[in-house]
Structure 1
Amino acid sequence: MKSKIYLLGLIVLFFISCKKQESIKVTTDDYCAAVDTVTGIMVHDIFSPPVASRIYVYPNIAAYEIMVQNSTKYQSLQGQLKGLDSIPKLDPKSGVNENLAALIAHIEVSKQLIFSEEALEKYRDSLYEKWGSENQKEFDISKEYALKVVERIKIWMSKDNYKQTRTFSKFSVHPDQAGRWQPTPPAYMDGVEPHWGEIRTLVMDSASQFKPKAPYPFSIDKNSAFYKEAKETYDVGNMISKKLTEVEITKSKQIPEESAIASFWDCNPYATVTQGHMMFAKKKNTPDAHWINIAKIALKKSKSDFKTTVFAYTKTSIGIFESFISCWDGKYKTNVVRPETYINQNIDENWRPQLQTPPFPEYTSGHSVVSSCSSIILTSIFGDNFSYTDDSELPFGLPKRNFKSFKQAASEASISRLYGGIHYRAAIENGVVQGTNLGTYINSKIKFFKSK
């Protein structure tokens, strides 16, 4: 009897050992979680909005280029994005799990772009251990191919002029030159990324391709367009302050809508808090992170598959990256003074905006450009009337907001800069035009789908 049981056990073990291991399953949720992990690290590391756009775009492109290797629907961006070529080809018979390789590439490229590498390595290693236990052979083959693509992407991104701009001079501030940007309270930081317009574009012919209309000529004449714009920002800020005071007096729980909108779209990673002699940074999303999360919300609501997920993140991040180059190129060329500085010098020396003024020149509004461009791109993917609930700011203590479309959200994000007291109306409206034109151009210029 014992010998029969022993023999039966050997047979069972034989069949178990011969049983083919199942393929490692990598889902939309897995990819979104990896993007969210990188976002969390970026918030912790306090990257500027322009630099954050770079951290999003290259990992997504790396994943996309793997995902399209044997796709019948999507096509490569090689030859379409400046300098992108020589992505290693994938033999369909190699045994590589494309979804797995795409996610590995995303993580490994991200690691090259952040400061807190250990945090991402910890996340990565937990996934590697899990995948290896599920199917070691498939994991090893997929990882080997992914790393080949990563090496190619690293070479490509190293030539975008980012490293060179780290050594360029700081932005020169001349307080005696009226109308020019000056550092603002409370931190009085230097101008952030004054050379971002020199970063290699991916799609645009040049950083100035979508150059906006010129700002109004600086003037302190009360009849001038510039003064009237500053006065509008001042009056709107006072109106909101009055409403907030009434809320405090009546102990109402209903925050004025304009104030709620300004706070929701603040997205200033440089916001600081002063306590006594100490000053520390508040952890906040960047505009990039907010719109990347909106893409995730749309993907989850539409129950998109893995390939659609990588495509949507990639196209959105390309738009955001180009938006910051376009906007920053203009900011430092026009070098327009912020409302806070102008109002304090010419209207009311005690006035403060609801939002802290970000540390760079005013024209045009970055959120207007980025939001408008992102809305055009997301609309091209999910449709005109895609309603959703935006929970992007929940981690920062702000409630959800509902939108009927991406364009409505972009419009609200843009006007939030007036409510927050950090922009004039021209920078907002012309920023919207700038971002809309850029998004439309990207939609027509880059071909993501193969011709039928």
Structure 2
Amino acid sequence: MKLNDKIIPIRVFAFLLVLFFLNSCKQDPSKVSTADLQHVEISAKDFQNAVDRVTEIMIHDIFSPPQASRIYAYPNIAAFEIIAQNDPTYKSLAGQVTDLTEIPTAADSLVNYSMAAMIAHMDLSKSLVFSEEKMTAYSDSLYDMWSEKNKPQFDASMNYAMEVVEHMKEWIGKDNYKQTRTMSKFTVDIDDPARWQPTPPAYMDGIEPHWNKIRPLVLDSASQFKPEPPPPFSLEKNSDFFKELKEVYDVSEDITKKGDESEEVEIAQFWDCNPYVSVTRGHLMFATKKITPGAHWMGITEIACKDTEANFNETVYAYTKSSIAMFDAFISCWDEKYRSNLIRPETLINQHIDENWKPILQTPPFPEYVSGHSVVSGAASTVLTDIFGDNFSFMDDTELPFGLPVRGFDSFNKAAEEAAVSRLYGGIHYRAAIDEGLTQGRQVGQWVIDNLQMKQ
């Protein structure tokens, strides 16, 4: 009995030791050493997915092409400024981009700069779209995952990102966008046969007539690259203007004879990118969902990043530089649109050539000269060529979600040229608007290249 009396307490003591050891392993997560936590890796694909999500929301919210360029550029700049704090390869845009000052530096050594860049990008994007809840749902799913993996790192990154967001919002708020929301609508001069008039089927007012008052990012002014004026308006059959008008009609008629399967129709539809397409069925009119031209070129940027296996920082750099060029390209283009205020081919062809004629593409709701696709494509292709090189061949699958096939291009410049001429095939632009617009866009893109030092 005495032996057992001694053995039992020993067994109890041993059992208690085991319990103590097991309990000691169940530490409070907040007290776990940061050395024991895994660094959260943020990939280039994560950033691309976030931008894609912004694009989806903008399609849902039906933002105009100029507005979309603003929604892309600012969050990209915020993300770039954060990675530039921690990667000596890149140089801050502070002092280079108009009125942008240095962002706060991170005080906490636990900050994950890629994570902070993602957080700042998504939070700023949310503040610039209408459907904030859609962006919130997306970002919260990532936050939960990152926090679960490494809460101290996530908290530090979140805190830093919010500092940067507040800094960026103060800068963004001074770009004159809010002021343009309350400016007068565009007045149509119906007594001047050369001036733009709303077009069917929706006969919408002119979109963003005051966009030239938005603060440029790199340009000296909205009119810095003012294009050559269009041919003087004339309905004389031997005039340059009428020849361009007749070209639109003749090209359209030739394409119609070839049928809907023609190469020209495929090109026109591929580069349509008109978020204001309206469909009328009986007494019902509704809008179809399409991306903007800026969104298409953001898609091409993503393709180039994937094809070159660009890392997170390289991807942010490419997105930022191209979106800055497009932002200024829209300001430059819209400045000319409402200065020349030129009538669209559809209106004149219906009035003077064929009252039953319809363009292959729906005419967008703003003046004709210059072509927005041409300007933006010229700017984006010039910057992308600078980043990835000339003769960069790629397969463009940007329009697959909209039921359009993949198209291949030998270079960004070739893609831009096709985007530009697509507007002639679509029946919505004269030749001068296409050619001069492409030149104007390339000038904007080159100016961005020459005046932004984004790498050390």
1:112-191 residue pairs with structure 2 within 5 A? 112-191=127-206
Q: Which residue in the other structure is 1:100 paired with?
A: 115
1:61-100 residue pairs with structure 2 within 5 A? 61-91=77-107, 94-100=109-115
SS in 1 for 2:66: helix
Cα deviation digits, residues 261-302 of structure 1 (max 9, x gap): 000000000001111100000000100100001100111111
1:435 corresponds, among 423, 432, 441, to 441
Identity of aligned residues (%): 57
Cα deviation digits, residues 336-364 of structure 1 (max 9, x gap): 00000111111111111000000000000
Q: Which residue in the other structure is 1:9 paired with?
A: 22
Cα deviation digits, residues 194-226 of structure 1 (max 9, x gap): 000111011011000000001111001001000
Asked if the contact 1:387/1:404 (under 8 Å) is kept, the reply is yes
SS in 1 for 2:416: helix
- Unpaired runs of 5+ in structure 1? 248-254
SS in 2 for 1:316: helix
Matched, 1:388 2:394: yes
Q: Which residue in the other structure is 2:231 paired with?
A: 216
1:10 deviation in Å? 4.7
Segments of 4+ in structure 1 off by > 2 A? Answer: 1-19
Q: Report the number of matched residues.
A: 440
Q: Which residue in the other structure is 1:408 paired with?
A: 414
SS in 2 for 1:430: helix
Q: Which residue in the other structure is 2:44 paired with?
A: 28
1:6 deviation in Å? 3.5
**Mean Cα deviation higher: 437-446 or 4-13:** 4-13
Matched, 1:241 2:271: no
1:77 deviation in Å? 0.2
1:441 deviation in Å? 1.0
Cα deviation digits, residues 383-441 of structure 1 (max 9, x gap): 11111111111111111111111111001000000000000000000001101111111
SS in 2 for 1:75: coil
Q: Which residue in the other structure is 2:61 paired with?
A: 45
- Unpaired runs of 5+ in structure 2? 1-13
Q: Which residue in the other structure is 1:278 paired with?
A: 284
Amino acid at match of 2:374: S
Amino acid at match of 1:233: V
Counterpart-to-counterpart distance in 2, 1:184 and 1:418? 17
TM-score normalized with structure 1 length: 0.95
1:9 deviation in Å? 3.1
1:11 deviation in Å? 6.2
Cα deviation digits, residues 305-349 of structure 1 (max 9, x gap): 110011011001001100000000000000000000111111111
Counterpart-to-counterpart distance in 2, 1:140 and 1:5? 35
Amino acid at match of 1:378: L
Asked if the contact 2:361/2:428 (under 8 Å) is kept, the reply is yes
Asked if the contact 2:92/2:102 (under 8 Å) is kept, the reply is no
SS in 2 for 1:68: helix
1:94 deviation in Å? 2.3
Amino acid at match of 1:416: S
1:15 deviation in Å? 12
Cα deviation digits, residues 106-146 of structure 1 (max 9, x gap): 00101110000111111111111111111111111111010
Give 1 or 2 for the bigger CA radius of gyration.
2
TM-score normalized with structure 2 length: 0.94
Q: Which residue in the other structure is 2:10 paired with?
A: none
1:237 deviation in Å? 0.4
